[in-house]
Structure 1
Amino acid sequence: MAALPELHAGLQRLLDSAVADGITPSAVCAVAVDGERLPVITAGDGVRFGPDGVELPEGQRTAADAGTYYDLASVTKVFTAVTALALVDGGVLALDSPVPVPVGRSGVTLRHLLTHTSGLPGIWEGWRAPLAAGAGFDRGALLADLLALEPVHPLGTRFEYSCAGFNTIMVLAEQATGRPWPELVAEHVLSRLAPDAALTFVPDPGRSAATEYQPGHGRGMVRGTVHDEAAWSLGGASGNAGLFGTAPALLDFGEALRSGLPGMLSPTTADAMWTDQLPAVLGASLPTSGAEYGHGLGLRIGQAAWMGSPTARGHNGFTGTSLLVDRDAGISIALLSNRVHPRRELSDVQPVRLAVSRAVYSALS
């Protein structure tokens, strides 16, 4: 379309400004409009601070480019949802039967977990005690602690965004298949994309953007390993976080998602990801459920703070990442940044996400 060069220039200005204003050390954006891809937009340094947390001289920094791997953080949850739903399509998991592990109370289903309506708390911090004791992480013991979490709301009455719930999905999948989580994600999602798709739980640290300086956890400057502490304690690959990817590779996934995930999910299941589940799941509790936006099976719907349209679907991540897809408008946007480098209190990248989304929608109109 004729507006694409102007859109590309506008997005470049937005990312350059975000870096210059100190919102994030770097950002990379990949956009597709009706299947036509813009050249990848890059700005800033994927590594600006050294192993000791001190800012590097300009000549020692690592510039971000289209091949830079970013910690996708909670964008991983979309891959988790697709993996779990592929197991539903295959008859291995059930969407609406009570899950066969103790999760707070009986009656919790996979649909509850995928829509954040299980009543489980937002986060699980079982990793803190062994870290403080210097005892090392025992994955089995940590998962047992995770599954023992007490609910904070009655089942199916409130929307409570829950990383703990998505890690529970991982446990369900592992127990049902007897296979490790990274294998399942690779088989059901990653292998169905382009053969060289740069999406992985184990990126090359030398090609990865750095995230946070965490000397208090004995990690130093985190680079090439997952930033999220819960995922880190569970071995780096989990249901709530752990995937790394480049912007073009995440865009590949976004385009597959926009097209209905052919070869991954049945049309009916793929459509359920796209369809708001909250009215049916929450029922009479919906008006007081705390749900400020819709939610499909793993996808946020029309989140006004950054999506820019009620027809958009997608997910964002704590490290500064996001994926937006819109079937009606024909667009996919992968925006990656490392706004937590060198510390998580650095900035709020949400206005940048919103500005990028609005720029793309404006170009279409």
Structure 2
Amino acid sequence: MPGHGRLHAELQRLLDAAVKDGITPSAVCAVAVDGQRLPVITAGDAVRFGADGIELPVDQRTAADAGTFYDLASVTKAFTAVAALALVDGGVLHLDEAVPVPAGGAGVTLRQLLTHTSGLPGIWEGWRGPLAAGAGFDRTALIADLLALEPVHPPGTHFEYSCAGFNTIMALAEHTTGRSWPELVTGHVLSRLAPDTALTFAPDPGRTAATEYQPEHGRGMVRGTVHDEAAWSLGGASGNAGMFGTAPALLDFGEALRAGLPGILSPATADAMWTDQLPAVLGASLPTSGAEFGHGLGLRIGQAAWMGSPAARGHNGFTGTSLLVDRGAGISVVLLGNRVHPRRELSNFQPVRLAVSRAVYTALS
């Protein structure tokens, strides 16, 4: 694209500054404009702190590169949505029928779960009990505890971002199909992107950016296993988190989203991911729903804090990750970081996301 050299230089400056300012130990950015991919931009160290949480000498650190796997955190929810919607296309699940698991009381639908309007609370912390007791995790018991969560709002009356809701989608899909969540996501999404895609629930730890030092949970320095504790307790692969990927591989997924997920979803279902569902789902409750942006089936819409445009769709993740896609502008933007390394209190990553998004949109204008 014209001027891509200037954009590349600006993105490199932004990533270098984020590392220098201590916002994140590393960052990797991949951008496509009208299908043309810029060279991947990298900065910093994927591993800066050792197994004991102590900063490593410079010569013992692991530099980030285009092949580094990052914990995608809640960007995983976009994959969860696509897997669930593929089951809808196949007639296995239904968007507007009450789900056949006891989630949030009677009447909760998959559409509500995908749009964070199910009434379920934001988080589920059932993993804390077994961890505190030193009993180990029993996934069956944990799923039962998850599905016993009491709603905090009647379904379809309030927007509340809910990791618990997306883990309920996972439980619903497993219950209905009799297949494990990794099988479902791999079969319905990852294998249809590319058989050898660098998107996985089980990365090579030696090629993965480290996240948090968690001795309080008996985990030490987390690397190659999911950072999110709920996902960790459920075996590492879950509906709310657990996916790892490289920036180029996540850009492949973004470009597939931009193109309507051909070969993965029907055109109508793919469009529903793109279309704001909140007015229809919430109805008269919309003005007081708590949502300051739109939400498609699994994709956030026009989130001003980091997207840079009301036309953008995508998702961000707690560890320092994001995927932005804009059909009208013809762009996909991936930003991967490990801002929680070695502690989650390290930084606020939103300004970096926003600066990267604005740089891309500015280059287009």
Gaps of 5+ in 1: none
Structure 1 residue 197: Cα displacement = 1.3
**1:194 Cα deviation after fit:** 2.4
Q: Given the alignment of the two structures, is residue 280 of structure 1 paired with residue 280 of structure 2, yes or no? A: yes
User: When the two structures are superposed, what TM-score results if normalisation uses the length of structure 1?
Assistant: 1.00
Q: CA deviation at 1:317?
A: 0.2
Report the 3-state secondary structure (helix = DSSP H, G, I; strand = E; otherwise coil) of the residue aligned with 1:192: helix
Residue deviations 1:126-164, cap 9 Å, x none? 000000000000000000000000011121111000000
Name the residue aligned to 1:362: 362
Distance 1:123 1:112 in 2: 16
Partner of 1:179: 179
Partner of 2:202: 202
CA distance in 1: counterparts of 2:202 and 2:275, whole angstroms = 32
Aligned to 1:216, the other structure's residue is in SS state helix
Structure 1 equivalent of residue 227 of structure 2? 227
Superposed, 1:312-331 pairs within 5 Å as 312-331=312-331
Q: Which amino acid aligns with 1:75?
A: V
**Cα deviation, residue 355, structure 1:** 0.2
Distance 2:343 2:255 in 1: 32
Alpha-carbon offset, residue 259 of structure 1 = 0.2
SS of alignment partner, residue 154 of structure 2: coil
1:6 is matched by which residue type in structure 2?
A: R
Alignment-derived partner of residue 136 in structure 2: 136
Output aligned runs, 1:72-83, within 5 Å: 72-83=72-83
TM-score (structure 2 length as normaliser):
1.00
Aligned partner of 1:289 in structure 2 is: 289
Q: Distance in 2 between matches of 1:311 and 1:101?
A: 35
- Counterparts of 2:307 and 2:192, CA distance in 1: 27
Q: Deviations over 1:18-45 (max 9, x none)?
A: 0000000000000000000000000000
% identical equivalent positions: 86
Q: Aligned partners of 1:261, 1:211: CA distance in 2, in Å?
A: 30
> Which 4+ runs in 1 deviate beyond 4 A?
none
Number of the residue aligned with 2:16: 16
- Structure 1 residue 195: deviation in Å? 2.6
C-alpha RMSD of matched pairs (Å): 0.4
Q: Which amino acid letter does the alignment assign opposite residue 360 of structure 2?
A: V
Distance 1:127 1:33 in 2: 42
The answer to whether structure 1 residue 98 and structure 2 residue 98 are counterparts is yes
Cα drift, residue 3 of structure 1: 1.1
Residue identity in the other structure for 2:114: L
Counterpart Cα distance in 2 of 1:263 and 1:360: 29
How far apart, in 2, do the equivalents of 1:3 and 1:308 lie? 20
- Letter paired with 2:126: G
Q: Tell me the secondary structure at the aligned position of residue 249 of structure 1.
A: helix
Name 1:300's counterpart in structure 2.
Answer: 300
Q: Distance in 1 between matches of 2:294 and 2:194?
A: 30
What residue number does 1:336 align with? 336
Structure 2: distance between partners of 1:12 and 1:211: 22
Counterpart for residue 256 of structure 1: 256
Measured in 2, the distance between the counterparts of 1:269 and 1:321 equals 25
- Count of matched residue pairs: 365
| CA distance in 2: counterparts of 1:233 and 1:152, whole angstroms | 23
**Structure 2 residue identity aligned to 1:196:** D
Quick one: distance in 2 between partners of 1:40 and 1:154? 45
Counterparts of 1:169 and 1:105, CA distance in 2: 15
- How many angstroms apart in 2 are the aligned matches of 1:220 and 1:312? 37
- Deviation string for 1:92-146 (max 9, x for gaps)? 0000000011112101000000000000000000000000000000000000000
**What amino acid is aligned across from residue 295 of structure 1 in structure 2?**
H
Q: Deviations over 1:15-70 (max 9, x none)?
A: 00000000000000000000000000000000000000000000000000000000
Match of 1:345, SS? Answer: helix
- 1:246-286 CA-to-partner distances (Å, cap 9, x unmatched) read 00000000000000000000000000000000000000000
What pairs with 1:39-78 in structure 2 (closer than 5 Å)?
A: 39-78=39-78
| 1: CA distance, partners of 2:277 / 2:315 | 16
Provide the C-alpha distance between the structure 2 equivalents of 1:83 and 1:104, rounded to a whole number of angstroms: 22
Deviation at 1:2, TM superposition (A): 1.5
List alignment gaps of at least 5 residues for structure 2: none
How far is the alpha carbon of 1:192 from its aligned partner? 0.8
CA deviation after TM superposition for structure 1 residue 196, in Å: 2.2
The aligned amino acid for 1:103 is A
Letter in 1 for 2:321: T
